[in-house]
A and B are shown apart, each in its own frame.
Chain A
Amino acid sequence: MNKQVQIRIEKLFKIFGPTPAKVLPQVHEGKSKDQVLADTGHTVGLKDINLEIHRGEIFVIMGLSGSGKSTLIRHFNRIIDPTAGQIFCEDIDVMQLNTKQLREFRRQKMAMVFQHFGLLPHYTVIDNVAFGLKTQGVDKKTRLAKARQWLADVGLNGYEEQYPSQLSGGQQQRVGLARALCTDAEILLMDEAFSALDPLIRSEMQDQLIQLQEKLHKTIVFITHDLDEALRLGDRIAILRDGELIQVGAPKDILLNPADDYVEAFVRDVNRARALTVENVMKSPSNRITANTIGEALQQMKATPAVFAYLENADGYQGAVLKNTLEKIVRETDDADAPLCEKVIEDTVRVSPDALLEEVIPDTLDQDYPLPVVDEEGNLKGELSRSSLAQVLGTTTANET
């Protein structure tokens, strides 16, 4: 993925209260949120946020309730104005826009999806979807045609003339999503878009978002307080606490190297088997050999105490060979130059580097030796042992070792 920066936030501060500018120096000094509230009655919404969001990624912002997620996302299109700091969208300095330019910016660049859908109750479903275009002044025929298309794309054919109150929560949020997509804005801001939905519908919506994203390659800023959702959707995850950015990184960084106790507490309960892939936990293969004959193989294996080795040749990974078996053949036939034929190569279960740990647990348990990790081209990428699996899956084990 190319790493073009789409949104850049620099030194962003937001303080809520009657005279935020006067309180700002105290926040600069490093007073904590609670202290500032006690001393001045002002709430620190955001504190020194610096971050970059790349084009085409799903950037998840996570944090507990009150950590400032909604406040942060509302700065991107300046529904909330910062107390200090800068916001750039590509080469646009968002803070420099005047009222009219800002309006135009919101119409063209970003579209937002809300936790409680934010649909207009007095508009029909199709008019809701077309709302962004109506605001832009697109003529009725064009905008309704386009809205109908998007409505179909989110699977709501035939609901055009219903009112939002006649739809279920999941359906309403699909309308919200269609409304956002209908403007063709490059950036999608989703504030806990799926949090109000029940688990089954929620996971359906996640699937739908992933599918749409494969086609559309939008830049999506997604807020959630659910780590499983974050891990499922996020290319990168940012973690907020009390208005401060604690950690930004790929899902596996967050899971495997939590920056502090707060993040650790967050990730403790997550189902890692469902969040991590084989690639995240595999080790590089300890014994790989490239022999043609049994003799060569034994020769190469002598160097290590291992009882098995992964055999590779020009065509890629072939299978595993066991030292015992090879030695026995040599003893019995006394023919060290015999080719390594299929009889001696054991083609054990291979796992793909992209597989979720959950999928490979049974295979790993069945096997005495580490599983070879083989990619689509047939190359050996690493090995997955029972012990490394146990290490990441059991947090307690991880702490002990």
Chain B
Amino acid sequence: MSWLTDFPQLSRETLVAIRQSLDSAYRDFSREYGEVIEGFFDPLLAFLIWFEKLLIAAPWWLVIAIIVAITQIATRSWRLSAGVAVSLFLIGLFGMWEDTMSTLSIITVCTLLSIVLGVPIGILMARSDRAQAIITPILDVMQTMPAFVYLIPVVMLLGIGKIPGVIAVVVYAIPPVIRLTNLGIRLVDREVLEAATSYGVSPWQKLINVQLPLAMPNIMAGVNQTIMMALAMVVIASMIGVAGLGQPVLRSITNQYFTLGLFNGLAIVALAIIFDRVSQAYAKRSQRYMGGRSE
């Protein structure tokens, strides 16, 4: 009757055996296929390195000019553009230019990757209830599982470096794009879809001309969240060797450099605000047709 008072726990030996066999199986797997999988990611790594070098090597004023130009085109707001210019300048002034460029490059790549992977997955989910039923719990796990936990197998497989960092960031940041693409497509007005069908659209025409454009506000909201989450992952990613603003933050935690941590933290915040405002303003401007008869 001991199970009434003590939890009927597996014995220590069994638990150790389970852990050891799973660990060694995974270790064997990563020894066997680690190289192949690394090779698979080589082009991405090459691109990542090239992009980071490009941002760092380019003259600082040119980079600022390009970012301000993008801001201006996307938002048509001089105030925002000026704000962007000033904050980038201050970042450089306080000696964080290179780290910021590293972070910028990895965030850009992670965001693009999330969109390229996430939108099609979202479309798949919108088209099939079964796909939705399968993918939704996976997304739940991805969003709630502590990032450190899935860093372990990634590092075991690929070592530390940029690629594991990117994978960790994408895994953490991709769910919003997927969810909101799915939601956006499912929310498209039924009558508009019916109208399109009644004029004989093919599934592809329907997707490109009707569903995606009308889901765009939601997809953009997802992209925005993805960017924010990717930035939030920067510090954790730096633990596995990703260069950028996360590194100094990590150093300041271990060495209790309060000011260093604060400055770098503020730089991350500045990047986040820039990304957020630009992507939101762009989303808003591209939805002007929703805006009623004001113009």
Q: B214: which A residues are within 8 A, CB to CB?
A: 120-122
A79 at the interface (CB under 8 A from B): yes
B24 at the interface (CB under 8 A from A): no
Q: CB within 8 Å of A: which of B143-194?
A: 189, 191-192, 194
> How far apart sit A103 and B199, CA to CA, in the bound complex (Å)?
8
CB of A133, distance to nearest CB on chain B (Å):
9
CB of B189, distance to nearest CB on chain A (Å):
8
Given known pairs A114-B194, A120-B192, A166-B295, the reply for A107 and B200 (CB within 8 Å) is: yes
| B202/A111 in contact, CB under 8 A | no
Contact of A135 among B189, B194, B201 (CB under 8 A): B201
| A114/B197 in contact, CB under 8 A | no
| B192/A107 in contact, CB under 8 A | no
Q: CB within 8 Å of B: which of A86-115?
A: 103-108, 110-112, 114-115
Q: CB within 8 Å of A: which of B240-295?
A: 288-293, 295
Interface of B (DSSP majority class): helix
Q: CB within 8 Å of B: which of A101-160?
A: 103-108, 110-112, 114-122, 131-132, 134-136
> How far apart sit A56 and B197, CA to CA, in the bound complex (Å)?
24
A-B residue pair count with CB separations less than 8 angstroms = 76
| Closest partner residue, chain B, to A110 (CB atom) | B198
| B191/A114 in contact, CB under 8 A | yes
Given known pairs A104-B200, A106-B199, A106-B200, the reply for A118 and B194 (CB within 8 Å) is: yes
Q: A136: which B residues are within 8 A, CB to CB?
A: 200
> How far apart sit A135 and B209, CA to CA, in the bound complex (Å)?
10
Given known pairs A103-B202, A107-B199, A135-B200, the reply for A116 and B289 (CB within 8 Å) is: no
Q: A111: which B residues are within 8 A, CB to CB?
A: 198-199
> How far apart sit A134 and B206, CA to CA, in the bound complex (Å)?
12
| B195/A165 in contact, CB under 8 A | no
A318 at the interface (CB under 8 A from B): no
| A121/B199 in contact, CB under 8 A | no
A183 at the interface (CB under 8 A from B): yes
| A165/B290 in contact, CB under 8 A | yes
> How far apart sit A77 and B210, CA to CA, in the bound complex (Å)?
20
Given known pairs A132-B199, A135-B199, A136-B200, the reply for A121 and B289 (CB within 8 Å) is: yes
| B198/A79 in contact, CB under 8 A | yes
Q: B293: which A residues are within 8 A, CB to CB?
A: 165-167
> How far apart sit A132 and B205, CA to CA, in the bound complex (Å)?
12
A189 at the interface (CB under 8 A from B): yes
Chain B 205-248 per-residue mask, 1 if CB under 8 angstroms from chain A, else 0: 10001100110000000000000000000000000000000000
> How far apart sit A135 and B197, CA to CA, in the bound complex (Å)?
10
Q: B199: which A residues are within 8 A, CB to CB?
A: 106-107, 111-112, 131-132, 135, 179, 183
A-B contact pairs, 6 of them (CB 8 A): A103-B202, A118-B189, A118-B195, A121-B192, A121-B289, A122-B289
The list of the 9 closest CB pairs from A to B, nearest first, reads A118-B195, A107-B200, A106-B200, A163-B289, A112-B198, A118-B191, A103-B200, A132-B199, A166-B293
